A and B are shown apart, each in its own frame.
Chain A
Amino acid sequence: DAGITQSPRYKITETGRQVTLMCHQTWSHSYMFWYRQDLGHGLRLIYYSAAADITDKGEVPDGYVVSRSKTENFPLTLESATRSQTSVYFCASSEPRGQETQYFGPGTRLLVL
């Protein structure tokens, strides 16, 4: 199916465990983004990528790692999950000349116990 998908949609993990959230888009958009959304904070940018093998830090990158070996995939890894990383994570993509128009995936709800 065309679009942007995220997996898993829900995840419960424990403090200290490694967790990887997947993001896949079928539009061949150059830009991809990871946000976290918490009550009272809106959407905060974690990392973004302008193209395969090019990534950059956003507003809140600490504790997260990203990679982009293929244009269509942009996984986000929590190397050692902490309770403060309990959040809803959204992946988004956009075309190079249209960063103002981002297309969001359905989100992953992550609970760290």
Chain B
Amino acid sequence: GQSLEQPSEVTAVEGAIVQINCTYQTSGFYGLSWYQQHDGGAPTFLSYNALDGLEETGRFSSFLSRSDSYGYLLLQELQMKDSASYFCAVNQAGTALIFGKGTTLSVSS
């Protein structure tokens, strides 16, 4: 079978750094993606890791360890607008994505 595990909720304050972890078990693996979804909105792509290591895009970074079947999304200098749900997703066979259940991030002032 296949499964992705990520925390259901994370809370933080403005200006802080938060890490959202994702562990996965899949029969095939091409890479790990991260998506953001604000309340009532559509998911939007944030980042993708196909190889081990850290990918940085502005305040957001994503990390992958293929040997540990583990990745994380790191959000720095948190802002109120970062309050949203964050989903990790596995590109399992080069076609469709399998999504985790999502992590709700609440940023307070």
User: Hey, which bits of chain A sit against chain B, CB under 8 A?
Assistant: 31, 33, 35, 40-45, 48, 50, 56, 58-59, 90, 92, 99-107
Quick one: given A40-B101, A42-B100, A43-B87, are A99 and B94 in contact (CB under 8 Å)? Answer: yes
User: Which of chain B's residues have a CB closer than 8 A to the CB of A58?
Assistant: 96
For residue B95, CB closer than 8 A to chain A, the reply is yes
User: Which of chain B's residues have a CB closer than 8 A to the CB of A107?
Assistant: 42
A100 touches B31 (CB 8 A): yes
Q: Which of B30-53 contact A (CB under 8 A)?
A: 30-31, 33, 41-45, 48, 50
User: Which of chain B's residues have a CB closer than 8 A to the CB of A105?
Assistant: 42
Q: Can you name the residue of chain A whose Cβ is closest to the Cβ of B32? A: A100
Q: Which 7 interchain pairs have the tightest Cβ spacing?
A: A42-B101, A104-B42, A43-B99, A100-B48, A100-B33, A100-B91, A42-B102
Q: How far is the CA of A50 from the CA of B33 in the complex (A)?
A: 19
B87 touches A42 (CB 8 A): yes
A33 touches B96 (CB 8 A): yes
For residue B12, CB closer than 8 A to chain A, the reply is no
Given contacts A43-B43, A100-B48, 19 further A-B contacts (CB under 8 A): A33-B96, A33-B97, A42-B100, A44-B99, A45-B96, A90-B43, A92-B43, A99-B96, A99-B97, A100-B45, A100-B89, A102-B43, A104-B42, A104-B43, A104-B44, A105-B42, A106-B41, A106-B42, A107-B42
A48 touches B95 (CB 8 A): yes
Can you report 27 A-B residue pairs in the complex whose CB atoms are below 8 A from each other?
A40-B101, A42-B100, A42-B101, A42-B102, A43-B89, A44-B99, A45-B97, A45-B98, A56-B95, A59-B98, A99-B91, A99-B94, A99-B97, A100-B31, A100-B50, A100-B89, A100-B91, A100-B97, A101-B33, A101-B45, A101-B48, A102-B45, A102-B97, A103-B45, A104-B44, A106-B42, A107-B42
Q: Which of B67-89 contact A (CB under 8 A)?
A: 87, 89
